[in-house]
């Protein structure tokens, strides 16, 4: 798939293709100096870029491009463009728990991950600069919440630099920040009234507060992107959610 077709896919899904164009230009000129971070949408892009700046990173200067794909189902097209079949740049990525299968399947088809039906039997990925060798039958620490370790989760995605959020990135950030601080951020944006109205709707009245907050952020065009930035900007850097911490370490 060519660049114009990829741009059309992302724009049709409401995502900007600016990062895609910049990444392609760098990959064509010097693929060895380029890292492409694949994320589902622009709210993920906003959060990742904001957090990188807080760590003192200059992503464009480093040749790192956070590219929103307009949905996880497009992963195969982007891996075809930037992975071994295409430019062969260094890759990383982030997805929601519900989209993990799409990422696994895409990585397998691109030759960047083990077969889905044979966990732990994948090839070494470090020779391509895409991650360490799996250390014990494909099992390793789960990067979750603010960093607790769960030794029982396969790391077929973490090995090549792809990380999975519990529910989604907003869920990870809300749990790290706490619902009280997130409500303060909503109030500071002048949206506490609309949020309270939202929580009184029959469909959401009985939901846990963190779920109400997460769903509220997706109820208006542009709101999710704005809160992706605001939540990442407010995050305590000692409590960065595991998937984000893992991703930043691979960028």
Distance CA 55, CA 103 (A): 27
Q: For position 115, what pLDDT does the model report?
A: 45
Q: Say if residues 143 and 245 touch (Cβ distance below 8 Å).
A: yes
Same-domain pairing of 139 and 40: yes
Q: What is the pLDDT of residues 169-200, one digit of tens each?
A: 999 999 999 999 999 999 999 999 999 999 99
Q: Look at phi and psi of residue 111 and say left if phi exceeds 0, alpha if psi is from -120 to 50, else beta.
A: left
Q: For position 156, what pLDDT does the model report?
A: 55
| Percent of the chain surpassing pLDDT 70 | 82
Same-domain pairing of 65 and 124: yes
Closest among 206, 202, 238, 232 to 217, alpha carbons compared: 232
- Domains of the chain: total: 2
Residue 231 has pLDDT above 70, yes or no: yes
Q: For position 113, what pLDDT does the model report?
A: 66
Same-domain pairing of 101 and 135: yes
Q: For position 213, what pLDDT does the model report?
A: 98
Distance CA 111, CA 125 (A): 9
Q: What is the pLDDT of residues 2-44, one digit of tens each?
A: 888 888 878 877 788 999 999 999 999 999 999 999 999 999 9
Q: For position 155, what pLDDT does the model report?
A: 46
Please state the pTM of the whole predicted model. Answer: 0.82
Q: Say if residues 17 and 11 touch (Cβ distance below 8 Å).
A: yes
Same-domain pairing of 164 and 176: no
Q: For position 14, what pLDDT does the model report?
A: 78
Domain span at residue 178 reads 169-234
Q: What is the pLDDT of residues 115-141, one digit of tens each?
A: 443 333 233 233 233 333 223 222 223
Same-domain pairing of 154 and 117: yes
Q: For position 125, what pLDDT does the model report?
A: 30
């Amino acid at each position: 798939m060519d660049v114009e077709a990829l741009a059309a896919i992302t724009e049709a899904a409401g995502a900007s293709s600016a990062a895609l164009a910049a990444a392609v230009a760098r990959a064509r000129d010097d693929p060895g100096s380029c890292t492409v971070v694949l994320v589902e949408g622009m709210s993920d892009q906003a959060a990742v870029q904001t957090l990188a700046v807080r760590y003192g990173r200059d992503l464009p200067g480093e040749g790192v491009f956070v590219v929103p794909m307009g949905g996880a189902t497009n992963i195969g097209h982007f891996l075809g463009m930037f992975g071994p079949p295409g430019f062969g740049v260094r890759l990383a990525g982030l997805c929601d728990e519900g989209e993990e299968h799409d990422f696994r399947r895409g990585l397998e088809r691109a030759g960047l991950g083990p077969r889905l039906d044979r966990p732990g039997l994948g090839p070494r990925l470090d020779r391509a600069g895409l991650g360490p060798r799996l250390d014990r039958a494909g099992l390793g620490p789960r990067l979750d919440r603010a960093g607790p370790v769960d030794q029982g989760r396969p790391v077929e995605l973490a090995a090549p630099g792809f990380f999975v959020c519990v529910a989604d990135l907003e869920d990870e950030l809300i749990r790290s920040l706490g619902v009280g601080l997130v409500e303060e951020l909503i109030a500071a944006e002048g949206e506490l009234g609309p949020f309270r109205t939202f929580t009184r709707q029959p469909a959401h009245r009985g939901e846990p507060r963190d779920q109400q907050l997460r769903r509220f952020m997706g109820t208006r065009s542009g709101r999710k992107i704005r809160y992706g930035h605001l939540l990442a900007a407010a995050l305590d850097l000692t409590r960065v959610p595991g998937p984000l911490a893992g991703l930043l370490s691979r960028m």
